[in-house]
Amino acid sequence: MKRVLFASSAILALTLSACTDNSETTSDGASTGDSGAIAVSATDDACDLSATETGSGTLTFNVTNDGSQVTEFYLLGEDQLRIIGEVENIGPGLSRDLVMQAPAGDYFTACKPGMVGDGIQAAFTVTDSGAEMAASGDSAELVAQADEQYGAYIRDQTEQLLADTEEFTALYVAGDDDAAREFYPEARLHWERIETVAESFGDLDPSMDLREADLEPGQEWTGWHAIEKDLWPPEDGDYETLDQAGRQALADKLNSDTQELYDRTRDMTFTADQIGNGAKGLLDEVATGKVTGEEEIWSHTDLWDFQANVDGARVAWQGLSPILETKNPELDAEVAERFDELQALLDQHRDGEGFVLYTELSTEEVKELSDAVNALSEPLSQVTAAVLQ
């Protein structure tokens, strides 16, 4: 059977309708006025483009370094100064795509072999293709707001973490084990909300949050999970609970590490991609550790951590949301919807102030949670690039 090809407008209409959910960031570039990739050959003394004019919308430059030095490629504004888009650190022989949005106007392209000087510049024209453009504009102020907001959140959470850790370790050292067990997941909420920031300190994370399964041979086990095992000792096996001195040592170490974390986070600042990737990172933590029940293997309080990771991710996304609303409102709306769906699912497992234990979840319930994490993580993983566009 042969079918006549329908007019391309019909295909385009389908393409567009099929893309409403994910907008241009996940779909075929053809849907947003893409005029085809422009090949750029960057050598030590030339910057050859396959075209010097293209339609407005999503522009794709496929930059190949045909020279012998590390190079960069820029799309500059009419003033030859303002950077509209850039790809850096392209090694000899390598190719990299620059994908970006650009409205109609006069531009300059530049290859910068050796990454020095003004580079090899040439005029470049973007004509009006009629493609709808995301609102442009300087988002520096919005990024500064996001940084301020996220920095304040981190400071607040570390402050609460410090207080709660001291309270928790005091109960543990005093031998008030029931109270310590009850408080354990609540105190950890503050840790899990800022987990990706805490993990950025490569020395603190292993000493504070290492799981037994992750220990290297000869490594001393300290931190939350060492105390967790001591409070929920395995019934059979050869684990011996710690004596008073052992408890005191773990408590002191956790308190001093937390103080160190507190001190280091007082003046932290965050770039948009750090915030965006932090949000994605927190959901990755959920997917790999919490939804599998591996994080809290003795206490089974994984759902508290789950909730806290989601809290932290939501705050990070909310900080970027004003930027995302201008750049890609569909993506922003999708992330919002998926956060709500995941939260609704989590709320089903609340028990009093906290949650049911991981071991009380059925396989189907775990699968549901995992599906909801996947559903949120996919669009969330696109936020950083969308914000940086």
Partner 1 sequence: MFGALGVGAAGVGVGVASGYAVGQSDDDGSVGAGSGAEQYDFYGQHQAGITTPAQDRMHFAAFDVTTSDRDALIELLQEWTQAAAAMTAGESVGGPLPYEAPPADTGEAIGLPASGLTLTFGFGPSLFVDESGEDRFGLAERQPAVLNRLPHFPADALQENRSDGDLCIQACADDPQVAVHAIRNLSRIAFGRASLRWSQLGFGRTSSTSTAQSTPRNLFGFKDGTANIKSEETDVVKESVWVAAGDDPDAEWMVDGSYLVARRISMSIETWDRTSLAEQELITGRDRQEGAPLSGGTEFTEPDFAAKGGDGEFLMATNSHVRLAHPSQNDGVQMLRRGYNFTDGSNELGRLDAGLFFLAFVRDPDVQYIPMQTRMSAQDGLMEYLQHTGSALFAVPPGAAQDEWVGQGLFA
Contact positions vs partner 1 (CB under 8 A): 1-3, 5-6, 10-11, 14-15, 17-22, 25-30, 34, 37, 60, 62, 87, 96-100, 273, 334, 338, 367, 371, 374-379, 381-382, 384-386, 388-389
- Could you tell me the smallest distance in angstroms from the CB atom of residue 326 to partner 1? 16
- Alpha carbon of residue 276 to chain centroid: 4
DSSP structure class, residue 346: H
**Cα angle value 177/361/290 (rounded, 5°):** 70
- Could you tell me the smallest distance in angstroms from the CB atom of residue 28 to partner 1? 5
Half-sphere exposure of 126 (CA within 13 A, CB side): 27
CB 90 within 8 A of CB 65: yes
- Could you tell me the smallest distance in angstroms from the CB atom of residue 190 to partner 1? 29
- Could you tell me the smallest distance in angstroms from the CB atom of residue 87 to partner 1? 6
Choice between 223 and 276, CB closer to partner 1:
276
Please, where are the H alpha helices in the chain? Answer: 8-18, 23-26, 140-173, 177-193, 195-199, 204-209, 224-231, 244-264, 272-285, 302-327, 329-347, 363-380, 383-388
* Backbone φ, ψ for residue 62 (5° rounding): -100, 100
- Could you tell me the smallest distance in angstroms from the CB atom of residue 96 to partner 1? 6
- Could you tell me the smallest distance in angstroms from the CB atom of residue 351 to partner 1? 25
Choice between 48 and 378, CB closer to partner 1:
378
Choice between 226 and 275, CB closer to partner 1:
275
- Could you tell me the smallest distance in angstroms from the CB atom of residue 188 to partner 1? 28
Choice between 166 and 341, CB closer to partner 1:
341
Closest listed residue to residue 374, CA positions, set 343, 331, 342: 342
Choice between 19 and 197, CB closer to partner 1:
19
DSSP structure class, residue 49: E
Choice between 91 and 246, CB closer to partner 1:
91
Choice between 226 and 320, CB closer to partner 1:
320
Choice between 261 and 387, CB closer to partner 1:
387
| Cα dihedral 185, 190, 192, 196 in deg (nearest 10) | -160
DSSP structure class, residue 55: E
| Both tokens assigned to 338 | 């998926």
> DSSP labels for 122-142?
EEEEEE------------HHH
- Could you tell me the smallest distance in angstroms from the CB atom of residue 384 to partner 1? 5
| Cα dihedral 315, 319, 323, 328 in deg (nearest 10) | 0
